[in-house]
């Protein structure tokens, strides 16, 4: 796959990347606001309705690496267009669903399409942008995802209020059709594909481990650790992980070359970026409950507050990415982790009597966290062993989406454990119990953030290759 050198081609590629990650981010957040309406429409309880979001994220987290590796076999354009077609078709199916079962099955396939889109985005940067433009590309991903994720609740609320919940899915169809036409025009033609062995057994084991692991983590707070479903899921997950490691070590063409994690430079930067996504998302998952239950914000005010972070990310992510291309990515990654650590520290001690200043500071720091995260992602590709750049790109997607899924589930589980609230919904807790759990979880987040700071600072930048010092034509 040839690197795009002309500015027009690079611009079209970056627009395509923004579109793809915006759609992914939008659909990841647009559904939650409509869950009460869907619950009422199908006469189901809240515990059942959560599967609408859970199956979507299960598909994304479990399939990202698989589709990333498939796309990197010289067919990224075909794979990405196919993913958007699947996403659009099953968005239509979701919107036309007349039963909960039909909606759930449609969400599974919509999640598959979203996984393809998420896996291809960083790969487009790695394979088609010059090395001295990689930071810009990854900054564009951060900006597009932030805009999409921040826009989801507001757009979902408007569509649900003035039309119906069906339109949070149907709106994807015309956008998807336009996007397919644009991708066919903007992306370079596929080349270099050679039919060869693909690690199907490893893929099955990975999907099994991921789905059962997320299920156990997400549902443990509702069902209890002693529940047979949780015990079975944990057992299957552990066995699948062990078998995956054994198989990948013996397979001649593994899905994931585990030897890359033996590097004393690659593993720290990978873990640091994974923690950025885990803690950053987990923290942001709990903040809306604090705003509603403790500060008394309505949904509109909370939405405006949450948008501060997205706005800052959009403003700074591309300039920071461009800057990191020239001076190195190490200290930008450290700043991202420091912003995460400081925001967690503030949230450990935050109290409604402190007013809005701590909250605004946390929102600004969160914007810096994500705005500086592009260079942290770039370090994964920078330090992966030669010939595994495609794997590095796939692991950026895995770290982002899987880290986010684990972060939300883990912080919710830790909250229930620390506050000893069991499966009582957050909205039914008294303020004292909520604050106990909230402060305790943020302390755990601070520890993880400090680990990320140390790991990011410990690995020096590679000396930029001579070619990267020459501006792209």
Output the domain CATH number for residue 105.
1.20.1250.20
15-26: pLDDT as tens digits: 888 888 888 778
Same domain assignment for residues 230 and 282: no
Any domain includes 470? no
* Average pLDDT for 74-89: 90
Residue 468 has what pLDDT?
41
Residues 432 and 444 both lie in one domain: yes
Do residues 435 and 299 share a domain?
A: yes
Asked if residue 307 and residue 375 are part of one domain, the reply reads yes
- How high is the pLDDT of residue 374? 84
Verify that 35 and 99 share a domain, yes or no: yes
Q: Which of 254, 269, 287 is the last residue of a domain?
A: 254
187, part of any domain: yes
Same domain? For 312 and 388 the reply is yes
Q: Are residues 155 and 243 located together in one domain of the fold?
A: no
Instruction: Say if 471 falls within a structural domain.
Output: no
Q: How many domains does the chain have?
A: 3
Domain of residue 167: give its range: 1-198
Asked if residue 468 is part of any domain, the answer here is no
Alpha-carbon Rg of the chain, whole angstroms? 21
In a domain, 469, yes or no: no
Query: Does residue 320 share a domain with residue 173?
Result: no
pTM confidence score: 0.83
Tokens of 106: 């449609």
Average pLDDT, the chain: 83
- Range 200-212 average pLDDT: 91
> What does the pLDDT average to over 348-374?
89
Is 195 or 425 the better-scoring residue by pLDDT?
195
In a domain, 473, yes or no: no
Q: Are residues 238 and 267 in the same domain?
A: no
Count of alpha carbons within 13 angstroms of residue 82, beta-carbon side: 12
How many Å apart are CA 88 and CA 238, to the nearest integer? 35
Are residue 144 and residue 265 in the same domain, yes or no?
Answer: no
Q: Look at residue 330 and tell me whether its pLDDT is greater than 70.
A: yes
For residue 212, tell me if it sits in a domain: yes
- Tell me which of 210 and 465 has the higher pLDDT: 210
pLDDT tens digits, residue range 217-266?
A: 877 777 777 889 889 999 999 999 999 999 988 888 888 888 888 888 99
Report if residue 455 sits inside a domain.
yes
Same domain, yes or no: 284 and 396: yes
- Kindly state whether residues 291 and 407 are assigned to the same domain: yes
Q: How far apart are CA 183 and CA 178, in angstroms?
A: 9
């Amino acid at each position: 796959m040839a690197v795009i050198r002309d500015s027009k081609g690079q611009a079209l590629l970056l627009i395509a990347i923004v579109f793809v990650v915006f759609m992914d981010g939008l659909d990841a957040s647009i559904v939650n606001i409509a869950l009460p309406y869907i619950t009422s429409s199908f006469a189901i309880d809240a515990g059942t309705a959560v599967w609408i979001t859970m199956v979507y994220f299960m598909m994304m987290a479990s399939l990202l690496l698989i589709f990333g590796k498939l796309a990197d076999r010289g067919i990224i354009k075909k794979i990405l267009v196919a993913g958007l077609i699947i996403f659009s078709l099953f968005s239509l199916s979701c919107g036309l669903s007349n039963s909960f079962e039909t909606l759930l099955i449609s969400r599974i396939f919509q999640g598959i399409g979203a996984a393809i889109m998420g896996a291809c985005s960083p790969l487009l940067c790695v394979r088609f942008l010059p090395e001295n433009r990689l930071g810009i590309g990854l900054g564009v991903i951060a900006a597009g995802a932030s805009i999409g994720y921040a826009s989801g609740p507001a757009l979902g609320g408007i569509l649900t209020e003035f039309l119906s919940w069906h339109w949070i899915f149907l709106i994807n169809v015309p956008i998807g059709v336009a996007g397919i036409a644009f991708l066919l025009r903007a992306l370079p033609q596929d080349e270099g594909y050679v039919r060869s062995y693909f690690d199907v057994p490893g893929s099955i084991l990975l999907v099994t481990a991921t789905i059962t692991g997320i299920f156990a983590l997400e549902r443990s707070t509702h069902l209890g650790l002693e529940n047979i479903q949780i015990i079975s899921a944990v057992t299957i997950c552990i066995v699948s992980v062990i078998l995956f490691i054994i198989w990948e070590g013996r397979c001649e063409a593994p899905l994931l070359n585990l030897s890359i994690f033996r590097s004393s430079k690659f593993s720290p930067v990978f873990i640091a970026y994974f923690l950025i996504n885990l803690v950053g998302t987990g923290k942001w998952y709990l903040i809306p409950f604090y705003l509603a239950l403790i500060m008394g914000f309505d949904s509109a005010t909370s939405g405006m507050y949450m948008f501060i972070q997205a706005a800052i990310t959009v403003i700074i992510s591309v300039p920071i990415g461009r800057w990191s291309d020239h001076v190195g990515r190490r200290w930008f990654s450290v700043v991202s982790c420091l912003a995460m650590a400081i925001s967690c520290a503030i949230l450990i001690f935050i109290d409604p009597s402190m007013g809005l200043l701590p909250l605004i500071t946390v929102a600004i720091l969160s914007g810096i966290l994500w705005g500086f995260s592009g260079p942290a992602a770039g370090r994964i590709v920078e330090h992966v062993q030669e010939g595994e750049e495609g794997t590095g790109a796939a692991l950026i997607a895995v770290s982002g989406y899987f880290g986010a899924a684990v972060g939300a589930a883990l912080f919710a589980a830790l909250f229930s454990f620390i506050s000893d609230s069991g499966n009582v919904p957050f909205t039914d807790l008294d303020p004292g119990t909520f604050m106990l759990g909230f402060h305790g979880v943020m302390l755990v987040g601070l520890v993880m953030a400090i680990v990320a700071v140390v790991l990011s600072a410990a690995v020096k930048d590679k000396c930029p290759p001579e070619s990267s010092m020459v501006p792209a034509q």
